Amino acid sequence: MVMQVTCWILGLSLLCLSSLAQSAPFSVAQEQQPAALTENLLLLQDPEQKLNFSDILSPEQKQQLQPLHGHSPNFGFTGAAYWVAVTLHNPLPVQRELILRQDYPLIDRLDFWYQDSSDQWQQVATGDRLPFVSRVLDLRDFVFPVTLPANANRTFYFRFATEGALNIGLSVSDPTAFLSQLALEQFLLGIYYGGFLVLVIYNLFLFIAVRDRAYVYYMGYAISYGLYFGVHNGISFQYVWPGSPWLANQSLVILLGMTLIFGIQFARTFCSSRLLAPRTDRMARGLLYVIVPLTVISPFVNYGPTILSLALLTLVVAVLLLAVGVISLLKGSLSARYFLVGWATLLVCVIVYMLKTFGLIPHNAITHNAFQFGALLEMVLLSLALGARVNEIQKRGYIDQLTGLYNRGYFDQRLPRELANATVTGAPLSLLVLDIDHFKSINDDYGHARGDAVLQAVGRLIRRLVRKPVVACRYGGEEFALLLPRTDCAAAQVVAERLVREVAQTDFDGLALTISVGVASTEPSVDLSAPEFFELADRALYKAKRNGRNRYVVADSSIANSGVMLSVGNV
């Protein structure tokens, strides 16, 4: 009795296992839109690649074909071949013409078997290790037109084998829906590669203008990436070298290596990592010592190990250069914000793509294109970062390093612009020129270090008291200049009065200071050049000094009128 129960349970278990090996046919709709066949696939791994099609048709091997049970049909870098069977069901009383598509073109060898009208098996042998003419249709992906008899099932077989990542992305659609999808994809790819081209041309003009080496590395990085994705998408094999399967494979490795090389060099130059992050810079150079030889020898060694090594190095490079961006930002580089966001975006997208490649997440339009989308978005952000870097460098050249205010060069450039704007708009413009009283005696009595500390303290006080649109500059020595756009003479006097009072009331580390200020404002009836306008304020300043210091004097075009600040205290 126990033996009978055991046999009954064993038989039931075998029946269940047999049912698990069955995958429901895909029922084709009347107007079939592109649909993934992942849930309808049966797969068999062939580790030693010894099985042939006759073996697969044998009852023993057919039983070995197993459904995915929710797993992803992505197997990463594997030396095995995979046999795939899929059954389509036509519920309609008419014959159907359909399109089967494998949407990942980087497959070395893809064999397809179908039954013709006389039910004889026919084979199509294609793949990127064969010339492009082996494709049934002249398209970047593998596309197979098939016929489905009325009210019937048809089973189709595939054999996948490749040295690179093995991703199975089979779908079915009717020809009309397929052509619509293809037109949309071509349109989006045109925009995608057009975006790369625009970025390269735009940054080429910027390089001609500013002659910054970072732009050279950026353009090399963008061009390498664009060409890499041209190979990755199958476009290069379709249009550039359809007769050279060797180039179709090796170009992918070479271009990925070049992308990493240019990316590292761009990051090192952009972030000045040799100065700001020497340890991380040494690590980046160490990666170059690995990637450059690997790229050079890649045409002469096996494709599989090389592309796997570079794929893993891509992840390492993305993490390392993200760290370079963080260090650069912490060291005060504001343009590193764009750089950091760009590399963080790429890192996330690379991780998504790698997870898809190794079968940890499904193969779909989002995961398959994540790397490409992330690369283009990164290119845009890095272009913005370059622009911000140029502005930052220019601004740094106009900043007085001691006080943090704008310097004389910036003032000389800004004053004519503000005067011209005031003339065109009729808006008032005022200028304050101020000088620290008896500053020379501070240097003589306390030393230049103490004098520098006083200048820094006065600079901080000015920054605290004035707000945009006021432009505060250190004009030279102990002299400062403040441009006040859209400010008339009365309002300028309020600012001057406050500056004189605040300086006199502030304790500068045991020193009591005062300042003298000359105020000049534009008048609609008087047309002044920039030197003449500055001379008005400067003459008013020296009149304030002659009148006893610790005050301001207002000038008109003839220095006829002057206002004197209430004396707050004498130095």
DSSP state of 565: P
**Poorest-pLDDT segment among 194-198, 305-309, 439-443, 558-562:** 558-562
Tokens 């505060």 found at: 472
| Non-local CB neighbours of 17 within 8 Å, separated by 6+ positions | none
Of the ranges 167-181, 328-342, 466-480, 512-526, the best mean pLDDT one: 167-181
In this predicted structure, what is the pLDDT of residue 22? 57
In this predicted structure, what is the pLDDT of residue 556? 67
Question: Which pair of tokens denotes residue 499?
Answer: 């500056």
Q: Parse the chain into domains and list their residue ranges.
A: 20-173, 184-397, 408-555
Average pLDDT over residues 304-312: 87
Question: Which pair of tokens denotes residue 371?
Answer: 């790397």
DSSP state of 25: P
Tokens 């910054």 found at: 212
Residue 3 has pLDDT above 50, yes or no: no
Residue 432: closest CA among 313, 536, 283, 543: 536
Q: What is the pLDDT of residues 259-306, one digit of tens each?
A: 999 999 999 988 888 878 889 999 999 999 999 999 999 988 888 888
Cα–chain center distance at 399: 30
- Answer with the residue of higher pLDDT: 369 or 19: 369
Q: What is the pLDDT of residues 234-263, one digit of tens each?
A: 999 999 999 999 998 899 999 999 999 999
In this predicted structure, what is the pLDDT of residue 274? 83
The domain defined by 184-397 carries CATH number 1.20.1070: yes
**Would you call 106 helix, strand, or coil by DSSP?**
coil
Tell me the DSSP string of 167-200. Answer: E--EEEE-HHHHHHHHHHHHHHHHHHHHHHHHHH
Q: Taking the CA of residue 393 as centre, how many other CA atoms within 13 Å lie in the half-sphere pointing to its CB?
A: 12
Contact between 133 and 95 under an 8 Å Cβ cutoff? The reply is: no
Angle, helices 408-425 vs 530-546, to 10°: value is 110
Contact between 434 and 497 under an 8 Å Cβ cutoff? The reply is: no
Tell me the DSSP string of 226-277. Answer: HHHHHHHTTHHHHHT-TT-HHHHHHHHHHHHHHHHHHHHHHHHHHTTHHHH-
- Confidence bin at 1 (pLDDT 50/70/90): very low
For the whole model, what pTM was predicted?
0.69
Q: What is the pLDDT of residues 4-54, one digit of tens each?
A: 433 433 343 333 334 334 567 999 988 889 999 989 999 999 999 999 999
Residue 468: which region, alpha, beta or left (left: phi > 0; alpha: psi -120 to 50)? beta
- The CA-atom distances, in angstroms, between 26 and each of 141, 252, 419 are 22, 35, 76
Residue 434 has pLDDT above 70, yes or no: yes
Average pLDDT over residues 133-161: 95
Q: What is the pLDDT of residues 117-145, one digit of tens each?
A: 888 999 999 999 999 999 999 999 999 99
Tokens 């269940």 found at: 16
Name the catalytic one among 163, 478, 523, 532. Answer: 478
Please indicate whether residue 378 is annotated as part of the active site: no
In this predicted structure, what is the pLDDT of residue 570? 34
Average pLDDT over residues 488-500: 93
- Confidence bin at 561 (pLDDT 50/70/90): very low
| Non-local CB neighbours of 444 within 8 Å, separated by 6+ positions | none
The helix or strand, by DSSP H or E, that contains position 363, with its residue range, turns out to be none
| Non-local CB neighbours of 497 within 8 Å, separated by 6+ positions | 552, 565
One-letter amino acid at 440 equals K
**Would you call 484 helix, strand, or coil by DSSP?**
strand
- Confidence bin at 564 (pLDDT 50/70/90): very low
Average pLDDT over residues 448-463: 91
**Poorest-pLDDT segment among 47-51, 444-448, 472-476:** 444-448
Residue 569: closest CA among 548, 544, 538: 548
- Confidence bin at 63 (pLDDT 50/70/90): confident
CA distance 393 to 211: 13
Average of per-residue pLDDT values in the chain: 86
CATH homologous superfamily, domain 408-555: Reverse transcriptase/Diguanylate cyclase domain (3.30.70.270)
Phi, psi (degrees; rounded to nearest 5) at 550: 55, 45
Q: What percent of the chain has pLDDT over 90?
A: 50
The helix or strand, by DSSP H or E, that contains position 131, with its residue range, turns out to be none
- Answer with the residue of higher pLDDT: 262 or 335: 262
CA distance 320 to 281: 9
Fold of 20-173: Immunoglobulin-like (2.60.40)
- Answer with the residue of higher pLDDT: 382 or 14: 382
Question: Which pair of tokens denotes residue 508?
Answer: 């500068």
Phi, psi (degrees; rounded to nearest 5) at 320: -65, -45
